[in-house]
Each structure stands twice: as C-alpha cells, then as structure tokens.
Amino acid sequence: MGRALLDAAAGRTDVKITAAVDRPDAGGLGTQVTDGVAASADLVSGLDAADVYIDFTSPASTRAAAQAAHASKRPAVIGTTGLSAADDAVIAQLATVAPIVVAANFSLGVNLLLGLVQQAARALGPDWDAEVVETHHRAKRDAPSGTALMIAHAIAAGHGSRYDEVKRHTRDGDVGARPRGEIGVASVRGGDVIGEHTATFFGSAERIEISHRATSRAIFAAGALRAAAWVVGKPPGRYDMLDVLGLK
C-alpha cells in the first residue's frame, strides 16, 4: 500500500507526499521513494513534515503512530485492519483532538456496496439467510477481513440486530441448524488475490448475491488520498469513507 500511495500521488496537485516512514528493520531506508523524500524510520519527524498522515501498517504500528500524533493534533487516515479494542481506544483518543478517517476499505465500490447490502437486509429481513464470504492473498494475517466485518455489520444494521449476538465466523463440527437471523462470515486465503467480497441472501427458491472484486491496490490508494485531502480542516472526530464521499 505504501508503494501504491506513492504511485497514486504522483502528478496530483491536491496532495503531495512529504515523508515516508517504515519499520526500523525495513530494507531501503534512506532510499528516495519520490521527489525529495527518502524512506525513514523517524515517525515523529515524518508527522511533523505533514498536514495529515496515512497509515496502512500493523495494529502495533498504528497504535504507536496515533499516540505520537496526539501531541501535535495531526489529522489521520487509517486503513489498518485487525485492530483490537485497545487499538481502537488509542485511535479514539486521537479523534478527541484531531479529525481522522478510519475505514477497513477505501474503495468507492465497496462503500457503495455497504449501502446496497444494508438496504437489501432491511428489505428482506432476517428470514432470508445472510452469509459473507471474503477471499484474500495467502499473506493476509487477519480474518475475517475488515471489509467482511463492515459488510456483516451493515447486514445486522439492516436487520436491526446486534452483530455480536448473531454472528457466526466460519463453522466446524456439529454446529446445529442455522438459527433465524444468524449472519455467517467465512474467510478464504490463497494466491495473490487482492480482495473479493460477496454478500449472499438466501430465500426460499431464490438467492441474491452482491459482490465486489478488487484487481488493483490503486483503488484503495486513490480513496485514501481523497480522504486525506478531505479531512484536513475538519473538526476533531472520527469519520469514515461514507462521510468523505458525502453518502451520509
């Protein structure tokens, strides 16, 4: 994603890369990654050089960046997935002093899909069985994907139910008959798949599928840069891509 962001920013006039921060043990530190910018492990200097920072890293790195950004009230765009409750708490603290956009997926298509899925769930109701299947490359660490969870939460919102009370993440062994209103989520890992998500609603003698397939990380980078340009100057608080796209 770091390389995708650098490529997406090239030639744009509304955003400019001013720093690139990587792990202390990363290869290529000190190498120029774009005009006038060399990769560095100095997080504080990187934050000081920017009006807003974009974070697609790991939960631990995201937590460290949010803690460092709190003092300078630096706006943020955060796309890291697999965050824990403790990570979310640190992000929430940053949102009290700075505007931040947090999303598991910055694709325009995915965010439109969320609205369609919630509308379908509301119209069909919990009598239609709802399942989400996500597929990603073999190196992805978290499961279910953040996007799959966003879709599943959208279904629960459409049903008017509490997600934690109806979720079923994969199935194994004798789990019994599927209860009314359950929302299933299954994860597939293999190859170099960038990201595929399908929400399926099963009725009696009919089925509805709503899918999104990403074929390039450029769509996520473009969305993150759009969010970065949008969030600067906004009041402190936590926003998402629906806010950025004006879909709320």
Q: Which residues are catalytic?
A: 136, 140
The dihedral through the CA atoms of 163, 169, 171, 174 has a sign that is negative
Residue with tokens 């003698």: 205
- Given a contact cutoff of 8 angstroms between Cβ atoms, the answer to whether 65 and 106 are in contact is no
- Given a contact cutoff of 8 angstroms between Cβ atoms, the answer to whether 59 and 83 are in contact is yes
Rg (CA), the chain: 19
The rounded Cα 24 to chain-centroid distance in angstroms is 25
- Given a contact cutoff of 8 angstroms between Cβ atoms, the answer to whether 132 and 199 are in contact is yes
The DSSP secondary structure of 139-192, one letter per residue, reads: T--SSS-HHHHHHHHHHHHHHT--HHHHEEES--S---SPPTT-EEEEEEE-TT
